[in-house]
């Protein structure tokens, strides 16, 4: 099997994680349990997930002119990710995410910093990199005009794109039609498309005209392929430590399997298993599993 070549266009952040038993109310000060700092950002997370699952990964993005930028570069290079096209932006801070973890769930505030300096012309200048990819991955932690330009460029080159539309914003139908897949959760899907929520996930997906994979947390994922057939892959029961990065793990796993020629059902099954493993450890990238672990977990679960 040829190694999948995946290019991730997106954000690079430092995640600052605070663990606490109780989420503070407005104006309240509490004593927390622990603090940790991890490399993160939805783009970088998805790049790490793809690399650990066996893909050759190229990262396109921006970092600031600070010590956190070097921390990110070192961490992603250690995962064998090509960082040639990650630009340093003078006088800008590297993006950060302030994450509070309580009872296995999280609340996140993102400060984009240099991530908002990734412009359409930066991506258009890398046409040859895009053209040499098996798959392009995008998210919404970079400027929307850059996301749109990347989709249009990849579509013109015949390169499939997976868009994880988070944070969610409304997107035009023409742009959505140029995607290979969109991977929202239920609330993101409503925002991105303007569709009204339905009684069942299947009924919601039936309204969407294009291929889609909708993540559903502990309930796994629902999907609709190019032929319009609906499917559901249930979640796995695991001990949850930290859900940060679970969606990014899911997207990376999905991209890797699809790039290798797997069916949509096979890719979703692999992605659900990978994301289940990721929540059993603290931190987004630090919790992302290797391919052997995912394959062993699927075998054990079946």
SS3 label, residue 231? strand
Distance separating alpha carbons of residues 29 and 163, to the nearest angstrom: 38
What is the phi/psi pair of residue 57, to 5°?
-120, 135
Distance separating alpha carbons of residues 264 and 256, to the nearest angstrom: 11
Distance separating alpha carbons of residues 48 and 54, to the nearest angstrom: 10
Distance separating alpha carbons of residues 209 and 252, to the nearest angstrom: 24
SS3 label, residue 13? strand
Residue 248 a catalytic site member: yes
- Find all residues with CB under 8 Å of 156, minimum gap 6, and list them: none
Distance separating alpha carbons of residues 133 and 87, to the nearest angstrom: 20
Sequence length of the chain is 302
The strand ranges marked E within 25-127 are: 34-40, 56-63, 82-88, 95-102, 105-111
Distance separating alpha carbons of residues 102 and 93, to the nearest angstrom: 28
Separation in Å, CA 272 to CA 161, 219, 265, 294: 20, 9, 11, 10
- Find all residues with CB under 8 Å of 290, minimum gap 6, and list them: 52, 53
Catalytic residue among 15, 122, 242, 248: 248
Residues that are catalytic: 248
């Amino acid at each position: 099997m040829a190694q999948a070549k995946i290019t991730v266009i997106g954000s690079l952040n430092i995640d600052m994680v605070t663990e606490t038993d109780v989420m503070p109310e407005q104006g309240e000060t509490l004593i927390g349990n622990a603090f940790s700092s991890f490399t993160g950002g939805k783009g970088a997370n998805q790049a790490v997930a793809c690399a650990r699952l066996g893909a050759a990964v190229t990262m396109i993005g921006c970092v600031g002119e600070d010590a956190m930028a070097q921390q990110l570069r070192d961490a992603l290079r250690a995962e064998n990710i090509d960082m040639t096209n990650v630009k340093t932006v003078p006088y800008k801070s590297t993006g950060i995410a302030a994450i509070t973890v309580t009872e296995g769930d999280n609340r996140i505030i993102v400060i984009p910093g240099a991530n908002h300096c990734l412009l359409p012309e930066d991506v258009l200048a890398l046409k040859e990199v895009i053209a040499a990819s098996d798959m392009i991955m995008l998210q919404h932690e970079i400027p929307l005009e850059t996301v749109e330009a990347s989709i249009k460029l990849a579509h013109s080159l015949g390169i499939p794109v997976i868009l994880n539309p988070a944070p969610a914003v409304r997107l035009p139908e023409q742009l959505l039609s140029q995607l290979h897949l969109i991977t929202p959760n239920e609330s993101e899907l409503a925002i991105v498309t303007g569709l009204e929520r339905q009684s069942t996930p299947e009924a919601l997906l039936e309204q969407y005209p294009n291929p889609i994979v909708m993540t559903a947390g502990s309930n796994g994922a629902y999907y609709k392929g190019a032929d319009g057939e609906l499917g559901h892959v249930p979640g796995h029961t695991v001990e949850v430590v930290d859900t940060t990065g679970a969606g990014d793990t899911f997207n990376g796993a999905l991209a890797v399997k699809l790039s290798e020629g797997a069916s949509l059902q096979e890719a979703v099954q692999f992605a659900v298993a990978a994301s289940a493993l990721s929540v059993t450890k603290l931190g987004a990238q630090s919790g992302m599993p290797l391919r052997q672990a995912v394959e062993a977990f699927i075998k054990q679960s079946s």
